């Protein structure tokens, strides 16, 4: 119990810290590494909530896949000059204010509704599931969500074709 709580806070710090570092670093490489930290934190949160499959997916896909993609692009695109320029856009104060206002509103809602979640709070006292997490996801994904699953595969295909078209030398 205590361990869970401590772990949650550790991961939360990783997530938020990584995120804040991501958006504040001057060098894109540093940002990317901070993003990895943040994503790893999210993966830890998944594990904390018994979503083992998503944990694996998060590590493999995000940290392994997308991040490599980012790093490749960072290397392909010459970012040295960008690093020496102004990092934030002109209206950043306004943007920050607006975001803060949205945050305040969200916080207000969460505060108002915090009691609703107390009931369903879970301290890890979950009943042992008959099936493992991965089997359950597979079950759901390939029966109830088969069509969306296929559509998602088409979406990925389109994305592959689109990105190749975008990135290749002559269009």
Cβ-based burial of 115 (10 A; exposed 0-12, middle 13-18, buried ≥19): exposed
Per CB under 8 A, contacts with other proteins among 57-96 are 57-58, 61-62, 65-66, 69-70, 73-74, 76-79, 82, 85-92, 94-96
Choosing from 64, 108, 146, 150, the residue that interacts with other proteins (CB under 8 A) is 108
Alpha carbons 25 and 83: distance in angstroms, whole number: 10
Residues 6+ apart with CB under 8 A from 132: 52
Alpha carbons 9 and 15: distance in angstroms, whole number: 10
- Least separation in angstroms between residue 35's CB and other proteins is 5
Q: Is 56 in the site for other proteins (CB under 8 A)?
A: no
Number of residues this chain uses to bind other proteins (CB under 8 A): 95
- Least separation in angstroms between residue 151's CB and other proteins is 9
Choosing from 10, 64, 132, 145, the residue that interacts with other proteins (CB under 8 A) is 145
Choosing from 10, 64, 98, 132, the residue that interacts with other proteins (CB under 8 A) is 98
Q: Is 50 in the site for other proteins (CB under 8 A)?
A: yes
Token pair recorded at residue 13: 């710090």
Q: With CA atoms as reference, report the closest residue to 11 among 55, 77, 66.
A: 55
Q: Is 123 in the site for other proteins (CB under 8 A)?
A: yes
Token pair recorded at residue 144: 């109830």
Q: Is 132 in the site for other proteins (CB under 8 A)?
A: no
């Amino acid at each position: 119990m205590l361990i869970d709580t401590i772990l949650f806070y550790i991961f939360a710090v990783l997530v938020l810290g990584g995120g804040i570092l991501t958006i504040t670093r001057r060098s894109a490489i540093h940002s990317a590494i901070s993003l990895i930290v943040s994503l790893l934190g999210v993966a830890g949160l998944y594990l904390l909530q018994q979503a083992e499959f998503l944990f694996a997916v998060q590590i493999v896909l995000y940290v392994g896949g997308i991040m490599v993609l980012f790093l490749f692009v960072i290397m392909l695109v010459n970012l040295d000059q960008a690093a020496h320029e102004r990092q934030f856009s002109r209206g950043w104060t306004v943007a920050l204010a607006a975001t803060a206002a949205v945050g305040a509103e969200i916080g207000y809602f969460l505060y108002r509704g915090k009691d609703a979640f107390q009931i369903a709070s879970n301290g890890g006292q979950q009943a042992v599931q008959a099936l493992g997490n991965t089997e359950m996801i597979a079950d759901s994904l390939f029966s109830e969500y088969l069509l969306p699953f296929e559509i998602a595969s088409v979406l990925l295909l389109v994305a592959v074709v689109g990105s190749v078209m975008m990135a290749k030398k002559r269009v």
